[in-house]
Structure 1
Amino acid sequence: MRTTVTWSGDIDLSTVWAAQSELMAVIEAAGADEVVVDLGAVTFLDSMGISALLSARGAAETAGVRLMLSGLSDSIEKLFAVAGLTGLFDIV
């Protein structure tokens, strides 16, 4: 079963904990074997957001869940490329 989690707005120090908590709950819930994080409505992603995605990636691997990202803006794609993260995530 594929589940989508949608992040929106700025993902930074003031919002990351809520976004990460929702994502981790979906990963840890029984029944999801694929989780897509839709970043199409994200206007800003800082290092805290990247850290949350990396933590979720680790949790997903442990749980046997495929974690995918979608809707990356050009600026977020560039950020992932510069940080060397593009190969760590399935981008759909």
Structure 2
Amino acid sequence: MEITVRNKENKYVFDLEGSLDIYTSLDLKSALEDSIKAQNSDVCINLDRLTYIDSSGIGILIKSLNYVQSLNGNMCVANLKPAIEKVFKVSGLTTYFEILSTDDFQTRYSGF
């Protein structure tokens, strides 16, 4: 998996490409914890180029959300492909995460 981190004025976008699974989930955890240290950060995980997610990937997203919230920040996920969105719906994560559509993502994170 490739992770690209973009930030601007305490807003962070993590672009994920490939698979978020048992082999790569700790890479996301490390990237997020290395990047997000300030209070009140606005974090978005862009899943536009994510092709696969398993339970380890879901677990690390939940841990990431809890970490960001412990710093009084906000975290969302954006650009879910239909197969990834189905995983989120089946596991009940659509009520746990703020999920942005492509248009909402572009509006909220314009200039990135």
TM-score, length-scaled by structure 1? 0.90
User: Counterpart of 1:63?
Assistant: 71
1:20 counterpart = 2:32 = no
Offset, 1:32: 5.8
User: What's the Cα RMSD here?
Assistant: 1.4
Unaligned stretches of 5+ residues in structure 1 = none
Residue from 48, 54, 61 that aligns with 1:53: 61
Quote the offset at 1:31 in angstroms: 6.2
In the alignment, structure 1 residue 84 sits paired with structure 2 residue 92: yes
Distance 1:26 1:91 in 2: 21
8 Å contact from structure 1 (residues 69, 89) kept in 2: yes
Q: Which 4+ stretches in 1 moved above 2 angstroms?
A: 24-27
Higher deviation after alignment, 29-38 or 81-90: 29-38
Counterpart Cα distance in 1 of 2:20 and 2:90 = 18
Higher RCO (Cα < 8 Å, 6 or more apart): 1
**Letter of the aligned partner of 1:72 in structure 2?**
L
Query: Which residue in 1 is equivalent to 2:14?
Result: 5
User: What CA distance in whole angstroms lies between the structure 2 residues aligned with 1:31 and 1:54?
Assistant: 18
How far residue 51 of structure 1 moved from its aligned partner, in angstroms, is 0.2
Counterpart Cα distance in 2 of 1:90 and 1:20: 19
Name which one, 1 or 2, has greater alpha-carbon Rg: 2
Question: Quick check: 2:17–2:50 contact (8 Å CA) kept in 1?
Answer: yes
